[in-house]
Structure 1
């Protein structure tokens, strides 16, 4: 494989799924109502509440009613841009307060640094907001990894299982699709990326997938570009 840019997922790929499920989601759930009460009249929160009203059709007249809806979306693991943006605001406070550091697999941190030093462009594509992605890599257990990345993409580029999303990302990166490899632990996302012309690699960290339509590795160490 010969590529110029690496586009990577986060959960299950560079980082454990358990950190997001067991640390970040519960933290946002716990802090949603008090955060909205404190920041209800700020422009960035007003913008996302207006988007949540449009998505849900609900009035969301006050912080508590909005928090009830948003906490339900968290429980349902909904990939809604307004929710992701508000979660990112809450997570920023947690990171800055030192309440946690983001988990990154050591092999991922090492290879990302190596690829960056080799001159590869690195990008992130996750269902979490761009702000949340930057916080994640900025406050990671491996240190501040944000200088390694050339850009970030989230659901504003489209759903991760739709080929058109990867076409938009490819156009934004400005390279031929074949010059970009997408790394993910979800085969349906890889299918969409491949349909858009990107190279693909499946991260099967548990070694649980016996047969795949994509090249399969169990760690970043095994990836050859």
Structure 2
């Protein structure tokens, strides 16, 4: 038994294709209109400023969108991209355009942990807003009540750096934490921070055949 279970999403709880295909395809044509239609939203203003700073682009919305699409094509975990995607997905889930799906073992495991008194949190490169919307609109209903905390690259830091996991541990007020992820580099960072780790090697996923080294490895939760 562990006090906290912290979970990755993509490739661990949900198929990678749901993010890289379904969600990305939903966000891609909406990025430009979202920037233009929410020009006074502080989150969008900040995201646009960050895009310009990171890319050096000084043009209009079309140029910004080209940068964002390039980051998406390379699956880069860039904060302003994740912010805008999260806002778009949040509306997509609220409108019923999007519904989150999980691997069959996931929801029973989440509910069992919760019933057993294990506290649950999420650490994903997707924004906190996107995470909350994702768990609020699933094929299994609203699962937001199962989680006590959500962390992303803004409030925690990069997923492959031990400092991010130390920051999360401080926020949780505990060092008794087990992290589940399908990415060995993330597990290495969590272990360096003193966490227990479990590699999730799901057949057919990008890291399904990865070398998880010293980490305990499972094919399902």
Tell me the TM-score normalised to structure 1 length: 0.91
Q: 1:191 aligned to 2:184?
A: no
Q: Are the aligned partners of 1:102 and 1:141 in contact in 2 as well (CA < 8 Å)? A: yes
CA distance in 1, matches of 2:50, 2:117: 39
**1:41 corresponding residue in structure 2:** 40
Deviates further, 67-76 or 187-196: 67-76
Deviates further, 45-54 or 205-214: 205-214
Higher helix share: 1
User: Structure 1 pair 195/210, CA: closer, same or farther in 2 (3 Å)?
Assistant: closer
Q: Are the aligned partners of 2:86 and 2:129 in contact in 1 as well (CA < 8 Å)? A: yes
CA distance in 2, matches of 1:173, 1:183: 16
User: Structure 1 pair 3/97, CA: closer, same or farther in 2 (3 Å)?
Assistant: same
Q: 1:26 aligned to 2:25?
A: yes
Q: 1:167 aligned to 2:166?
A: yes
> 1:58: how far off?
2.2
Q: Unaligned stretches of 5+ in structure 2?
A: none
**1:72 corresponding residue in structure 2:** 70
Tell me the TM-score normalised to structure 2 length: 0.92
**1:213 corresponding residue in structure 2:** 214
Q: Are the aligned partners of 2:191 and 2:197 in contact in 1 as well (CA < 8 Å)? A: yes
State the Cα RMSD in Å.
1.5
CA distance in 1, matches of 2:168, 2:141: 27
> 1:102: how far off?
1.0
Structure 1 segments, 4+ long, off by >6 Å, are none
Q: Are the aligned partners of 2:99 and 2:138 in contact in 1 as well (CA < 8 Å)? A: yes
Q: Unaligned stretches of 5+ in structure 1?
A: 221-225
Q: Where do 1:83-102 residues align within 5 Å?
A: 83-102=81-100
**1:63 corresponding residue in structure 2:** 61
CA distance in 1, matches of 2:26, 2:116: 37
Count residues with an aligned counterpart.
216
User: Structure 1 pair 211/89, CA: closer, same or farther in 2 (3 Å)?
Assistant: closer
Partner SS for 1:23: helix
Q: 1:146 aligned to 144, 147, 153, which one?
A: 144
Q: Deviations over 1:124-153 (max 9, x none)?
A: 000111111111111112211110001011
